[in-house]
Chain A
Amino acid sequence: MAQAFSPQADAEIEAILQRYPNRLAALIPTLWVAQREFGWLAEETMELVATRLDLPPAKVISTATFYTMFHKKPVGRYHVQVCKNISCYLRGSDEVTAAVKQKLGVAPGQTTADGNFTLEEVECLAACGRAPVVQVNADYHEWQTAESVVALLDRLAAGDTSGGV
């Protein structure tokens, strides 16, 4: 079945369009809505966005592929992003990454077989004063260690998201 926006998402896109003087400016916010709705941006999804905003598909693809946070393939339920930049590195982010790799059995860029976790090493998350920092989906986890990150993964694997995902 062809993809379609939910009525709620469609209303959200309509509200987004009101904020800008042209439709192209609504593209990035609309891609965010699309990614939330469908999990990632398949070609079909980008075409849906192009149709909804009445933009050429090439414009949509050009923008969607420029930005690293738009997923061009599916990601796990928990997107574990370990900062590897300088301030986190100085405070031991390599040990955090190594602990996640060992715990999940995946390398950066890979997703666990059960589809639960995707590991990624990312650039500076602007929380350097509480390094090392790990972002899981929307939430930041600061002052991480090899032990604390494993505890975090255990908690998430058990479905406990009470302390943020």
Chain B
Amino acid sequence: MAVQTYDYLLRDKHGKDYRDLAVYRAAGGYKAVLKAHQMGGEAIINEVKAASIRGRGGAGFPAGVKWGFVPKDTNKPKYLVVNADEGEPGTFKDNYFLSHDPHRLIEGCIITSMALDIHTAYIYVRGEFKRQIETVDKAIADAHKAGILGKNVLGTGYQLEVYTHSGAGAYICGEETALLESLEGKPGQPRLKPPFPAVVGAFGCPTLVNNVETIASVPVVIEHGGEWFHKLGVERDGGSRLIGISGHVKKPGLYEIGVGANMREVIYELAGGILEDRPLKAVIPGGSSCAVMTPEQIDAPMTLDGIRDAGSSFGTGGIIVMAEGTCMVKALQRLSHFYAHESCGQCTPCREGTGWMARIIDDIEAGRARQEDLDTLLEVADQIGGNTICALGDAASIPVQSFLQKFRAEFQAHIDHGGCPIEGPMPRGTRP
């Protein structure tokens, strides 16, 4: 059966420039704001809960529940902070909204803010996305001029300002408390939780932090109803969502699928299968920090629970596909150097351990490793995981642990061979 795709969120095949406010509105844009305003805060939150959206940033926490943690009665200002610090290797979906559909994100910000009585929203965008920031800034300015943002949102009397805030090159700022530190002008070093941002967030005030796609889904939920959106997915994991496929497939790119589609079909049908029709070697299902999977594991429904039961995690929905001919040591080397580079340095196990792991993997690839280094590598990974303030420590350990679990023979072969035994090139991809 063909995988069902949708175009509620991913509207790139419409042939329309939704960055243009007039085009966006002609397609029904910003109507959900008026509907939401009539519904009122409690009803909006209930609709998002009915939609059963689980956060699209990687952790998969139910969005409606997270919204419910923001206190209603407080004399402090409350903030909405949109996490647009997309940087998990293999993940490139939020880029789509920022580049091509910025008003969707702004409309989501307005409805979310109305639900929680928030009057200031910051969109924290990774620093490399300079063009995307220009695009969103223009959309904000256009919305202001049209009376969609500012002191009187679409004549409702509701007041909201939305600002972009540029990061400056630090993967760790995608972690929500590091992001808040960075928003406040400090180095992006994660905070201890609790307190959670919903209670003590930006500037010491209650703050909702949500991923771009989560917020961009909100207008669709309000327009069509939470139950309707929920049914695009499965029980406890509702809706449609964007997935990105990269690596050795014939048609890499973004696809919008109902939550629950089968991963093998997504890879072989939507993405056209493996380059040069080579056998599949490995899949990382949801961004680089998810456990690597082997071909016999991929008959799994793409839900948070389904991928977990298959032995990995859904993460951000960024699927990285590796064909036969890929050296798993070299692949892991890229990931381990990344985490070593991005460790914020706050916790000793991560600061020291990520660099140590990367150096051992360098040794294995270069043929300098000793037999006992394989055990040392695992031991270091095991001692980082769970022993750090934030999840970067686990994110660095999981690839090492899972690559060694699934492909230990290949690591062993590097040691026995005194270097890389993989012969021949990886498959060549061309622009589809």
- Chain A binder among B84-92, B152-160, B221-229, B371-379: B84-92
Q: B17 at the A/B interface (Cβ < 8 Å)?
A: no
Q: Are A86 and B334 in contact (CB under 8 A)?
A: yes
Q: Are B169 and A69 in contact (CB under 8 A)?
A: yes
Q: Are B429 and A86 in contact (CB under 8 A)?
A: no
Beta-carbon contacts under 8 Å, A135-155 to B: 135, 137-140, 143
Q: Are B128 and A69 in contact (CB under 8 A)?
A: yes
Q: Are B320 and A87 in contact (CB under 8 A)?
A: yes
Beta-carbon contacts under 8 Å, B89-137 to A: 89-92, 94-95, 126-131
Residue interface mask A39-61, B partner, CB < 8 A = 1: 00000000000000000000100
Beta-carbon contacts under 8 Å, A1-31 to B: 19-22, 24-29, 31
Partner of B131, one of A123, A124, A140, A143: A140
Bound-state CA distance A22–B253 (Å) is 41
Bound-state CA distance A68–B182 (Å) is 13
Contact count A vs B, C-beta below 8 Å = 152
Bound-state CA distance A31–B187 (Å) is 13
Cβ of B163: which chain A residues have Cβ within 8 Å of it?
19
Q: B335 at the A/B interface (Cβ < 8 Å)?
A: yes
Partner of B168, one of A20, A68, A92: A68
Q: A158 at the A/B interface (Cβ < 8 Å)?
A: no
Cβ of B167: which chain A residues have Cβ within 8 Å of it?
28, 67, 69
Q: B246 at the A/B interface (Cβ < 8 Å)?
A: yes
Q: Are B338 and A85 in contact (CB under 8 A)?
A: yes
Bound-state CA distance A72–B95 (Å) is 28
Report the minimal beta-carbon distance from A60 to chain B, rounded to whole angstroms: 9
Q: Are A92 and B338 in contact (CB under 8 A)?
A: no
Partner of B94, one of A59, A66, A126, A140: A126
Partner of A68, one of B170, B186, B320, B326: B170
State how many residues of chain A have any CB contact under 8 Å with chain B. 44
Q: Are B322 and A90 in contact (CB under 8 A)?
A: yes
Q: A130 at the A/B interface (Cβ < 8 Å)?
A: yes
Q: Are A86 and B131 in contact (CB under 8 A)?
A: no
Smallest Cβ-Cβ distance to A143: which chain B residue: B431
Known: A85-B334, A126-B126. Contact between A92 and B253, CB under 8 A? Answer: no
Q: A62-B186, A90-B322, A131-B246 are in contact. List 11 more A-B contacts (CB 8 A).
A: A21-B203, A25-B183, A29-B166, A66-B188, A89-B330, A92-B426, A92-B428, A123-B171, A124-B90, A130-B253, A137-B130
Would you list 20 pairs from A and B whose C-beta atoms are within 8 A, ordered by A residue?
Answer: A22-B184, A24-B186, A25-B185, A28-B166, A66-B344, A67-B170, A69-B168, A69-B169, A85-B89, A85-B334, A90-B426, A92-B426, A123-B89, A124-B88, A124-B90, A125-B128, A128-B89, A128-B318, A131-B246, A137-B130
| Chain A residues near B (Cβ < 8 Å) | 19-22, 24-29, 31-32, 59, 62-63, 66-70, 84-87, 89-92, 122-131, 135, 137-140, 143
